[in-house]
């Protein structure tokens, strides 16, 4: 599952009290699989095969262009990518709608003379053949013996049956399978299946209504040292092409002038169909002269399984008459404009006044961005131009926000390209004209909507404020689960349950905005839970789990660690755990964070200790295939490679202060927990430091 919501999910466990459903919990009674126990928190690494499933099959992914049939003489699912270990012992099955010249089982008997399996492929996806292994089995490779050229295999989906969801899931897509040959292909679980790539005009062209590209290349690497040339070029067909689309990819700038009729945004495109799964790392574009420039483009791929185009990246500010090499990255958001907007009705004169401001590349605003175009809401009185808000001179700018209406007035900058600020600097006016509170928002150029990125309150008057930003991860309580002692902000359906010796003290973690107390855990019976759901259960998606922790002397010493945060009840894999190493270990006082997929369990051990009776901030981050642990904002050691597969989901609630297994594996934690935040993105160190400061 890929999370791709406009606003990332956020859970905040502040002070839990009257807002909570105080229900008694009980253990499930399941027999826990405890083979993930840390041997004094040793780090583990390894390679994981694909998802484990009882049933695997291949299915025709395209209609056959020649006779309407595909023929496979022999095949094997394999435990390894090289197919040195073919998997046997399963029961063969097929779709039944195709003519089989012998039994399906003969496809797996190793004898090409006994099997001609024909797929009637006038309809894509109609025919399949597979094996039921009767038990969870991981497939890492596939071997196919195709027939002659007439009866070739064009492309196939490799699928497994998800018993829990009761549906077939596409694991991989294999194409360009040679006829009359034995093909051995690695199989890996994918979330995206890009076979075609294109660029598309992202803006209406302001000069002549045309965008001209002389030459381009999609590349395997960010530097475009490896251009990909073995695809079939295509274009939108609604634009005048001064030569064939293929000439855009031939490496010769004199043979290609590709014009995009750009009077309509998004109308024109140019791309290449690679015919098989192709990963892109960079793009090279040779633009034309100033008149026929390229303003901005979407970089998109066609997902052959989802059967839709997906925006991968956005490139703006492409100079004319230049050869540009631009790295590409998969993005979930596309911010090009940033603004501040009044978040409260002004109580004094109805105005909010800002003398000067800047969006910055760093949290400390040492690198302000000045190359954008300023704009404002137009409904407010501006004593000078909006651009003066960003010129660095406080004497030239008094920007007034008419704030009688919440959210009515804004001031911002359009950078014309993707920009992720780490901080914002604001110079406010005197006490009379103070800034009460503002939303920090960005415009997503793909979703075409404004998104709240952060919330800044209590901005003192007559002061220059430098505030770190958390990017798209909002800390605005309106869009978070905030459980406090008033209960006013508890979200329906998300109430936590507090059990046993757990209570709420008046002690709070330092410099935190939301809490007025911490969850105290007695170390013998007290814990809290949050229900299972997509906000707390992750496969291979990025996430951050952050909280304040105070460790006391541990009472449950049945194991060398005690569970601070645990998304696990003792069986199967888990997306994350954060554990405290107790006095039974040589690493007493350290924190270990880990993931587990039932086989591999990479973990990160802190170098710092937190056994001093004080609150410490702990953050566990998954960003791509890197796992990171932060204590008090400082990364502990280096990155650890996440070797888990997607099988880290489970149905367990989120436990705070214990593991969801029966004694002696419950591992109760003694101490206090405050401000538990779960984000569906990997936060940077600067963002974690900003989170600590709130």
Q: Which domains does the chain possess? A: 50-186 (no CATH), 194-327 (2.60.60), 335-468 (no CATH), 479-692 (2.60.120.200)
Q: If residue 692 lies in a helix (H) or strand (E), which one and from where to where?
A: helix 685-692
Mapped onto helix, strand or coil, the DSSP state of residue 389 is: helix
| CA separation for the pair 94, 127 (Å, rounded) | 8
β partners of residue 331: none
User: What is the Cα–Cα distance from 398 to 428, expressed in whole angstroms?
Assistant: 9
Please list, in sequence order, all residues whose beta carbon lies within 8 angstroms of the beta carbon of residue 68, skipping any fewer than 6 positions away: 120, 121, 122
Burial 204-235 (b: 16+ CB within 10 A, else e): ebeeeebbbbbbbbbbeeeebeebbeebebeb
Are 690 and 470 within 8 A, CB to CB?
yes
Beta bridge partners of 616: 549
CB 408 within 8 A of CB 377: yes
Contact 453, 440 (CB under 8 A): yes
Are the beta carbons of 547 and 13 closer than 8 angstroms? yes
> Based on C-alpha coordinates, what's the Rg of the chain?
29
Close Cβ partners of 312 (under 8 Å, ≥ 6 residues apart): 194, 197, 280, 299, 300, 301, 328, 330, 331
3-state secondary structure of 319: coil
Task: Give the phi and the psi of residue 289 in degrees, each rounded to 5.
Answer: -75, -175
**Please, what are the averages of pLDDT over each run of 10 residues along the chain (694 residues)?**
29 32 30 40 34 90 62 88 92 78 83 71 75 94 76 80 89 83 88 94 65 86 93 83 81 74 74 95 80 75 95 85 85 91 63 81 87 83 77 75 67 92 82 65 92 76 73 33 31 48 44 50 87 80 90 92 89 91 90 92 94 94 92 92 88 89 86 85 78 72
**CA 57 from centre of chain:** 29
Give the C-alpha separation, 187 to 159, whole Å.
10
Other Cβ atoms within 10 Å of 47 Cβ, number: 11
E strand or H helix that includes residue 297: strand 294-303
- Cα–Cα distance measured from residue 149 to residue 337, given in angstroms and rounded to the nearest whole number: 54
Determine which helix (DSSP H) or strand (DSSP E) holds 685, and give its type and residue range.
helix 685-692
Does the predicted TM-score (pTM) go above 0.95? Answer: no
Q: Kindly report the length of the chain.
A: 694
CA distance 653 to 285: 50
Distance (Å, rounded) from C-alpha 103 to C-alpha 97? Answer: 13
Q: Measure the CA dihedral 80/83/89/94, to 10°.
A: 110
Residues 6+ apart with CB under 8 A from 90: 77, 108, 131, 132, 133, 134, 137
**CB crowding 300-315: b at 16 or more within 10 Å, else e:** bbbbbbeeebebbbbb
Spatial distance between the Cα atoms of 420 and 518, rounded to a whole number of angstroms: 33
Nearest to 409 by CA among 434, 438, 432, 448: 438
3-state secondary structure 399-435: EEEECCCCCCCEEEEECCCCCCCCEEEEEECCCCCCE
In 10 A of CB 608, how many CB atoms?
15
C-alpha–C-alpha distance, residues 351 and 383, integer Å: 12
Contact 454, 422 (CB under 8 A): no
- The upper half-sphere exposure of residue 88, i.e. CA atoms within 13 Å in the direction of its Cβ, equals 7
DSSP annotation of 691 reads: H
The reported pLDDT for the residue numbered 7 is 27
d(CA 287, CA 215): 7
């Amino acid at each position: 599952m890929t999370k791709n919501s406009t606003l990332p999910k956020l859970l905040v466990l502040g002070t839990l009290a009257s807002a909570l459903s105080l229900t008694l919990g009980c253990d499930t009674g399941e027999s826990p699989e405890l083979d993930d126990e840390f041997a004094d928190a040793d780090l583990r690494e390894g390679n994981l095969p694909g998802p484990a499933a009882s049933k695997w099959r291949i299915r025709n992914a395209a209609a056959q262009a020649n006779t309407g049939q595909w023929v496979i003489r022999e095949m094997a699912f394999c435990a390894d990518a090289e197919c040195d270990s073919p998997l046997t012992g399963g029961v063969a099955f097929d779709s039944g709608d195709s003519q089989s010249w012998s039994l399906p089982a003969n496809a797996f008997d190793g004898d090409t003379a006994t099997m001609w399996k024909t797929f009637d492929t006038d309809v894509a996806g109609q025919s399949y053949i597979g094996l039921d292994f009767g038990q969870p089995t991981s497939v890492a490779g596939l071997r196919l013996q195709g027939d002659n050229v007439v009866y070739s295999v064009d492309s196939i989906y490799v699928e497994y049956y998800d018993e829990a969801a009761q549906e077939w899931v596409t694991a991989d897509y294999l194409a360009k399978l040679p006829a009359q040959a034995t093909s051995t292909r690695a199989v890996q679980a994918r979330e995206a299946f890009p076979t075609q790539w294109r660029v598309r005009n992202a803006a209406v062209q302001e000069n002549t209504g045309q965008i001209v590209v002389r030459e381009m290349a999609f590349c395997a690497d960010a530097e475009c040292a490896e251009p990909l040339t073995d695809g079939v070029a295509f274009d939108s067909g609604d634009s005048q092409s001064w030569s064939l689309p293929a000439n855009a990819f031939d490496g010769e700038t004199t043979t290609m002038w590709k014009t995009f009729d750009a009077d309509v945004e998004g109308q024109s495109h140019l791309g290449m169909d690679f015919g098989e799964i192709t990963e892109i790392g960079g793009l090279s574009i040779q633009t034309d002269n100033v008149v026929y420039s390229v303003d901005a483009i979407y970089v998109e791929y066609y997902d052959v399984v989802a059967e839709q185009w997906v925006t991968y990246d956005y490139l703006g500010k492409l100079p004319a008459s230049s050869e540009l090499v631009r790295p590409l990255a998969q993005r979930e958001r596309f911010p090009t404009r940033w603004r501040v907007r009044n978040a409260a009705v002004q109580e004094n004169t109805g105005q909010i006044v800002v003398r000067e401001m800047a969006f910055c590349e760093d949290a400390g605003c040492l690198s302000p961005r000045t190359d954008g175009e300023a704009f404002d809401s137009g409904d407010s009185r501006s004593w000078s131009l909006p651009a003066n808000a960003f010129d660095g001179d406080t004497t030239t700018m008094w920007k007034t926000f008419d704030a009688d209406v919440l959210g009515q007035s804004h001031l911002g900058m359009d950078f014309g390209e993707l920009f992720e600020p780490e901080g914002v600097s604001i110079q406010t006016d005197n006490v009379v004209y103070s800034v009460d509170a503002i939303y920090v928002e960005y415009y997503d150029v793909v979703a075409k909507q404004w998104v709240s990125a952060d919330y800044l309150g209590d901005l003192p008057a007559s002061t220059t404020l430098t505030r770190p930003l958390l990017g798209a991860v909002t800390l605005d309580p309106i869009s978070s689960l905030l459980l406090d002692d008033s209960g006013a902000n508890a979200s329906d359906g998300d109430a936590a349950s507090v059990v046993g010796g757990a209570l709420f003290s008046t002690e709070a973690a330092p410099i935190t905005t939301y809490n007025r107390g911490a969850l105290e855990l007695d170390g013998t019976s007290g814990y809290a839970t949050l229900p299972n759901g997509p906000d707390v259960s992750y496969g291979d998606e990025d996430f951050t789990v952050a909280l304040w922790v105070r460790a006391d002397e541990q009472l449950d010493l049945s194991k060398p660690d005690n569970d601070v945060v645990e998304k696990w009840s003792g069986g199967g894999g888990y997306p994350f755990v954060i554990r405290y190493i107790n006095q039974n270990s040589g690493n007493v006082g350290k924190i270990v964070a880990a993931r587990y997929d039932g086989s591999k369990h990479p973990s990160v051990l802190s170098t710092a200790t937190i056994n001093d009776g004080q609150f410490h901030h702990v953050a566990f981050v998954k960003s791509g295939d890197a796992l990171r642990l932060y204590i008090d904002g400082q990364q502990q050691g280096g990155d650890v490679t996440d070797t888990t597969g997607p099988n880290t989901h489970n149905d367990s609630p989120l436990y705070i202060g214990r593991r969801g297994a029966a004694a002696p594996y419950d591992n109760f934690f003694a101490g206090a927990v405050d401000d538990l935040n779960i984000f569906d993105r990997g936060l940077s160190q600067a963002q974690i430091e900003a989170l600590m400061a709130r």
